[in-house]
């Protein structure tokens, strides 16, 4: 059976060990996590906290609210007030899907990996 070649953009080098970084703080953290949500105030905080709990590899969690009407924006704002790694993007209109808010988050990411 033939082996499928790796995608051309795939890096075949191991990821650096964040604990071996000499820089301190979140700037050395190599990962941005994007969390998207629409009218999911009951669960969005758990998703953000879960991402933050992944440890020192997480530079930031970008939470994109797709113009929710259930108070999700207030939940996310509260999380951002308590943890500087949480950045909130609130879309002015609902996108009608997952791709646009996810891409908004990816575009806002500052870490080398998302």
The answer to whether residue 42 sits within a structural domain is: yes
Quick check: is 94 in a domain? yes
- Tens-place pLDDT, residues 46-93: 999 999 999 999 999 999 999 999 999 999 999 999 999 999 999 999
CATH number at residue 68: 3.90.550.10
Domain annotation covers residue 17: no
| Residue 11 in domain | no
Rg (C-alpha) for the chain, rounded Å, is 16
Residue at 19 is within a domain: no
SS (H, E, C) 44-64: HHHHHHHHHCCCCCEEEEEEE
* Distance from chain centroid for Cα 52: 9
Q: What angle do CA 81, 83, 88 make, to 5 degrees?
A: 65
Provide the domain limits for residue 36: 28-108
pTM greater than the 0.85 cutoff? no
State pLDDT tens for residues 3-41.
665 545 444 444 444 443 434 455 689 999 999 999 999
Look at the chain and report how many structural domains it folds into.
1
> Who's near 111: CB < 8 A, 6+ residues apart?
29, 30, 31, 32, 59, 60
Taken in order 47, 53, 57, 60, is the CA torsion positive or negative?
positive
């Amino acid at each position: 059976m033939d082996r499928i070649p790796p995608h051309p953009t795939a890096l075949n080098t191991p990821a650096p060990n964040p604990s071996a970084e000499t820089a301190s703080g979140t700037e050395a953290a190599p990962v941005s996590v994007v969390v998207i949500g629409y009218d999911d105030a009951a669960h969005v905080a758990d998703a953000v906290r879960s991402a933050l709990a992944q440890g020192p590899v997480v530079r930031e969690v970008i939470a994109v609210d797709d113009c929710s009407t259930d108070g999700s924006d207030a939940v996310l704002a509260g999380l951002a007030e308590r943890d500087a790694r949480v950045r909130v993007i609130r879309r002015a209109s609902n996108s009608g899907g997952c791709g646009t808010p996810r891409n908004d988050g990816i575009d806002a990411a500052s870490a080398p990996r998302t």
